Amino acid sequence: MDPMIIELGYALDTFYFLMCTALVMWMAAGFAMLEAGLVRSKNTVEILNKNVLLYGVACTVYLFIGYNIMYPSAPVNSLIPGIDFLLGEDHTLESVLSGDEDAPYYSSMADFIFQAVFAAATMSIVSGAVAERMRLWPFLVFAIFMVSVIYPVSGYWKWGGGFLDEMGFQDFAGSIVVHAAGAAAALAAVILVGARKGKYGPKGEVRPIPGANLPMATLGMFILWMGWFGFNGGSELKIANLEEANAVAQIFVNTNAAAASGAVVAALFAKFLFGKTDITMTINGALAGLVSITAEPLLPSPGLSVLIGAVGGIVVVVSVLALDKLKLDDPVGAISVHAVPEFGGFLPLCSVTQRQRLWGN
């Protein structure tokens, strides 16, 4: 192939990767707005400060430690990654033009920054679940541990060539690596810090604590929805040929379809249960639809994507109610959104089948 064509493809794929990174970075604002809107006004400043600092801590720690644990140059074995520090050099012109089967087709620095904003998103899940209870500095200490150990190791098991990858497990854009890992950490933190004062009565009755700014929370949801196009679309990794460009377009369509149906079905299900719609359930329904499709946003048809999102919209409402029954106080529904939808029956379908179309084109 003409070297100029190869260089142009490399540049285009790198540029696409960086634009998707910018979209995923914008999700940090979405998480901040969502969390700040669903807590009491007296805690808003603390919540915003925490979200800015967690992003800074996550990116810094991932730069020095996390990335090279997730993608080690010399892993110990398929369960335990190796430990390296800092980043290596970017690809040379010779390596790009080598014509080898494993020749790079985008910048390694673009890959790093894309993964760094994923790491920050994982920690943002924990932030929402422990809102109004966990102090800033202990939270940031936990963020260091999360981004330097927990998230990189779970990512290595699949994306770094660990044992899950060897078993053939598929997780296209991080339904398990990012969302389930973040939700598991969030659940552990919620159990440790307990519920907010006044959330549950002496007989276990749930006492609602309304969010102070629902317009802000709704804006946060739409920012996350927008950022998810980069989250899922960027995970295709490249766009510089007809097949990949069509795949990216398919991912965008499926991602939007799942979110839309998740929001609608969650609203209808809330109407059925409570006699009225609930904006927080609608918001979480949209986000649950997005999480549901993240395991495999390319394989399903748009019709199946609608069904996947609809199931996510139902199970997230059930999960929110179930966690309250268990007296697990999650102010923004982070655990229900990020841990439950992928286990609603569609993760096995989307994760272990070969990449082929289902239910039409």
Angle at 256 between CA 13 and CA 165, to 5 degrees: 55
Within a domain: residue 358? no
Residue 83 maps to a domain: yes
**Cα gap 159→175, rounded to integer Å:** 12
Query: What domain range is 154 assigned to?
Result: 3-352
Q: Are 47 and 58 in contact (CB under 8 A)?
A: no
Say if 307 falls within a structural domain: yes
Work out the widest C-alpha separation in the chain, in whole angstroms: 74
289-307 b/e with 16+ CB inside 10 Å = b?
bbbbbbbbbbbbbeebbbb
Q: Specify the number of domains making up the chain.
A: 1
> Among positive and negative, which fits the CA dihedral 28, 289, 264, 298?
positive
Integer Cα distance of 326 and 322 in angstroms: 6
State pTM to two decimals. Answer: 0.92
Tokens for 214? Answer: 């629902």
110 within some domain? yes
Q: Please indicate, yes or no, if residue 48 is contained in any of the structural domains.
A: yes
Q: Is residue 240 part of a domain?
A: yes
Does 361 fall in a domain?
no
- The reply to whether 175 falls in a domain is yes
Taking only the tens of pLDDT, the chain with its 361 residues reads: 778 888 898 999 999 999 999 999 999 999 999 999 999 999 999 999 999 999 999 999 999 999 989 998 777 677 777 666 666 677 677 666 776 666 677 799 999 999 999 999 999 999 999 999 999 999 999 999 999 999 999 999 999 989 998 988 888 889 889 999 999 999 999 999 999 999 999 888 999 999 999 999 999 999 999 999 999 999 999 999 999 999 999 999 999 999 999 999 999 999 999 999 999 999 999 999 999 999 889 989 999 999 999 999 999 999 999 999 999 999 999 999 999 887 754 554 544 454 444 444 4
CATH number of the CATH domain containing 125: 1.10.3430.10
| CA 284 to mean position of chain CA atoms | 14
Distance CA 201, CA 206 (A): 7
For residue 101, give the amino acid letter.
E
